Amino acid sequence: MSQTKQGPSNDRQQPRPTNLPPGVIWGVVGLVALIAALAVFRVDTWGDRGSGLSPRFEFDVSELAAVDPALVSHAETAQIPVGMQTVQAIAAKPDGGFLVAGDRAVQMFQADGTMAQAFSVPDAPRSLAVAGEDHDFPGRIYVGMASRVEVFDASGQPIASWSEGLNQDSLLTSLAVFEENVLAADAGNRVVVRWDASGRLLGTIGQPDDRRGIDGFVIPSEFFDLVVPQDGILRVVNPGALRVEAFTLDGDPLGHWGEASARIEGFFGCCNPSHLTVLADGRFVTSEKGLPRIKLYSPRGEFESVIAATASLTARGGGQEIRDEHSPRAFDVAADATGRVLVLDPNTRQVRIFEPLESGAMADAG
Amino acid sequence: MMADTSSKKDRRGFLNDALRTTSVIALAGAGGFLAGRRSEGEPMVWQLDPDQCIGCGHCATYCVLDESAVKCVNCFDMCGFCDICTGYFEMNYLALDTAAENQLCPTGALVRKFIEEKSGQRFYEYTIDVPLCIGCGKCVIGCALMNGSLYMQVEHDRCVDCNECAIAVACPTQAFHRIPASQKEILKRRAEAVLGARGRRMMREAGDDAGMYREGAELLERALTQRRWRQQQRSASTASSEPEGTARDA
């Protein structure tokens, strides 16, 4: 019996596949290439299809920006363009006209919005005030720079430059004139500085003082506004405390109004209201930053109505743009003797005029 | 039989040639080494310019890491320490407390801590719980409604420094830049201004307090580094936008 050596058996070998036609092979290769190309194109390398995060990650301010139309008391009646790159401050003149400060200039407008005159200022202006008939020098124009006040006559001729009581930390964000007093809100030093009409320093208001019950101003950002109505009582926004505080011109505290709240009646966020003015009848107009809205309060500080809601102040009605260069800035406000509210829109560089709706119109709007 | 002297070199000639060759190789090597050292430069890292960031959320999902290397930071010099913080609370919050339903951050990465009560208001410090932050930017958008002290930065101890950063490619505003590793951060312009101002004030008021002076100087240097970087960015941008002839003429 012959023994055969066990080795790899040819019987177990699978038969070789028959040769496929070249067309089939190329077809398969093409299909694979096509699938690969589609896969590559489906990968969103450029982020065009968004982040892929769930709606839970979206920031929605629509609920906060929404305002009941029944609360809106004013309507926009005019938009007056200002020929400046940046606009900073607005002030009403006793004759119905108004002034706008921005760039390195001040422009004077008549009541109908016609620009009457302009004059240049030596530095970037940040605040503005016009002296009324009760002042020692009616018509005088005070322009606040970062750390000094430039004084001009009614025609824009320079008269003086004041810096007594100010220092390199000063940042003047608002000016007011009442009788012989000129007052400036110094956000850098967190005080109100008071001079007489000749520029002599009369004192400062608002330093923390336990004995007088003054907590001091909380100013987290460069917004710090003040106004002196006809009652002669200084009203200063304490923006970090989200309220308006009242002082005598000698610096004695008299009280405050305003509450921290996201509701329409209150002020919310870090520091609001950003701007403040007063109507001839003693009611206050506040302007808020963040979600811009302009509201009306009684002389006692009770919420009355909305002059301009977020949607009417910003085209987008929300707050999604976060870049400093593109985000909406705060709106300065002034009020003229006829009750018009002048809103300086820094985004469109316009003065937007809001006038009261007829009482019937307000009811209809509601 | 005549010796073939022409094909042979004497020992002196051989040594001369060897010396010459060695010298050339040494010179070339030294030159190459020096040239290499000179072109080596400082290592560069990815960083996000917060002034260009729009809080789109791509940082959370496009990073090659499971947990993004981009995180939120808070510049306390810009922060209002608000009670009603728009970066912390949902816009329709039920109460001003730390309950999850009131928090804006979907991962609860923002930590709120009471600091003081002043002028009738309560003030809070907000810090980031870094491991919980996924870089979605929701709080950044909320904070931008007010002071904008919250912003995004690449954490270099997490970033693997890809040659081509996937977030940078997907970033809709091209906010990602290569910066020197020693610079580490890109501050907001406003942060640069407030830090510089605080640094100058500290140096001015330090008197004999060497520690305070040093801290002020460090803050000022931090701000100046940012200013220099932004100037370089502007110069590079201007040079690239100018026509070739104009740039050469200039």
How would residue B249 be classed by pLDDT, with cut points 50, 70 and 90?
very low
CB of A306 closer than 8 Å to CB of A294 = yes
CATH number, domain with residue B168: 3.30.70
Q: Is residue B83 in some structural domain?
A: yes
Partner-chain contact B80 A221, CB within 8 Å: yes
Mutation site for A-interface testing, chosen from B123, B146, B149, B186 by largest number of A Cβ within 10 Å: B146
* Domain end position, chosen among B159, B182, B205: B182
Show the CA angle centred on residue A338, arms to residues A335 and A343, nearest 5°: 30
Place of tokens 């007010």: B146
Counted residue by residue, chain B has a size of 250
Same domain, B164 and B214: no
Partners of A89 in the β-ladder: A101
Same domain, B117 and B194: no
Partner-chain contact B51 A169, CB within 8 Å: no
pLDDT at A363 (0 to 100): 44
- Least confident piece of the model among A169-178, A195-204, B116-125: B116-125
Same domain, B132 and B208: no
Q: Is residue B69 in some structural domain?
A: yes
Q: Point out the residue among B58, B106, B145 whose CB comes nearest to the CB of A319.
A: B145
Same domain, B52 and B165: yes
Partner-chain contact A322 B54, CB within 8 Å: yes
Residues in A touching B146 (Cβ below 8 Å): 221, 269-271, 289-290
DSSP secondary structure code for residue A331 in this structure: P
For helices B189-205 and B210-241, what crossing angle results, to 10°?
Answer: 150
pLDDT digits (tens, 9 = 90+) for A214-254: 999 999 888 999 999 999 999 999 999 999 999 999 999 99
pLDDT digits (tens, 9 = 90+) for A285-341: 999 998 899 999 999 999 999 999 998 888 644 446 778 877 768 999 999 999 999
Partner-chain contact A215 B118, CB within 8 Å: yes
Same domain, B169 and B206: no
Q: Which class is domain A63-365? A: mainly beta
Same domain, B130 and B79: yes
Q: Is residue B31 in some structural domain?
A: no
pLDDT at B119 (0 to 100): 79
* Domain end position, chosen among B158, B182, B206: B182
Q: Which burial class, exposed, middle or buried, applies to A287 when counting CB atoms under 10 A from its CB (0-12, 13-18, 19+)?
A: buried
How would residue B7 be classed by pLDDT, with cut points 50, 70 and 90?
low
Same domain, B97 and B197: no
Residues ≥6 apart with Cβ < 8 Å to A262: A64, A268, B84, B91, B93
Distance from CA of B246 to the nearest CA of A (A): 28
| Nearest residue to A302 via CA among A282, A330, A320 | A282
Distance, in Å, from the CA atom of A339 to the CA atom of A353, rounded to the nearest integer, reads 10
Distance from CA of B39 to the nearest CA of A (A): 32
Q: Point out the residue among B121, B138, B140 whose CB comes nearest to the CB of A260.
A: B121
Residues in B touching A260 (Cβ below 8 Å): 83-84, 121
Distance, in Å, from the CA atom of A266 to the CA atom of A287, rounded to the nearest integer, reads 12
Distance, in Å, from the CA atom of A204 to the CA atom of A214, rounded to the nearest integer, reads 13
Place of tokens 């931008």: B144
How would residue A261 be classed by pLDDT, with cut points 50, 70 and 90?
confident
Distance, in Å, from the CA atom of A56 to the CA atom of B102, rounded to the nearest integer, reads 13
Give me the interface pTM, i.e. the ipTM. Answer: 0.77
Number of domains into which chain B is organized: 2
Q: What is the percent of chain B where pLDDT is above 70?
A: 90
Asked whether residue A5 carries a pLDDT value surpassing 90, the answer given is: no
* Domain end position, chosen among B161, B182, B203: B182
Residues in B touching A323 (Cβ below 8 Å): 51-54, 173
pLDDT digits (tens, 9 = 90+) for B77-130: 999 998 889 999 988 888 889 999 999 999 999 999 999 998 778 899 999 999
Place of tokens 């987290």: A220
Q: Is residue B250 in some structural domain?
A: no
Q: Which helix (H) or strand (E) holds B29?
A: helix B11-40
| Whether the bond into A273 is cis, omega within 30 of 0 | yes
Q: Is residue B208 in some structural domain?
A: yes
Same domain, B135 and B201: no
Write out the residue range of the structural domain in which residue B150 sits: 48-182
Same domain, B144 and B53: yes
Q: Is residue B13 in some structural domain?
A: no
How would residue B239 be classed by pLDDT, with cut points 50, 70 and 90?
confident
Same domain, B81 and B110: yes
Q: Is residue B16 in some structural domain?
A: no
How would residue B38 be classed by pLDDT, with cut points 50, 70 and 90?
low
DSSP secondary structure code for residue B21 in this structure: H
Average pLDDT estimate for B35-52: 82
pLDDT at A300 (0 to 100): 95
Partner-chain contact A47 B62, CB within 8 Å: yes
Determine the distance from the C-alpha atom of residue A155 to the mean position of all C-alpha atoms in its chain, rounded to a whole number. Answer: 30
pLDDT at A322 (0 to 100): 79
pLDDT digits (tens, 9 = 90+) for A45-104: 788 888 889 888 988 888 888 899 999 999 999 999 999 999 999 999 988 899 999 999
Place of tokens 């001040």: A106
- Least confident piece of the model among A161-165, A261-265, B69-73, B183-187: A261-265
Q: Which helix (H) or strand (E) holds A79?
A: strand A74-81
Distance from CA of A263 to the nearest CA of B (A): 10
Looking at chain B, which runs of residues are DSSP E strands? 44-48, 70-74, 110-118, 121-128, 150-154, 176-180
Distance, in Å, from the CA atom of A253 to the CA atom of A192, rounded to the nearest integer, reads 13
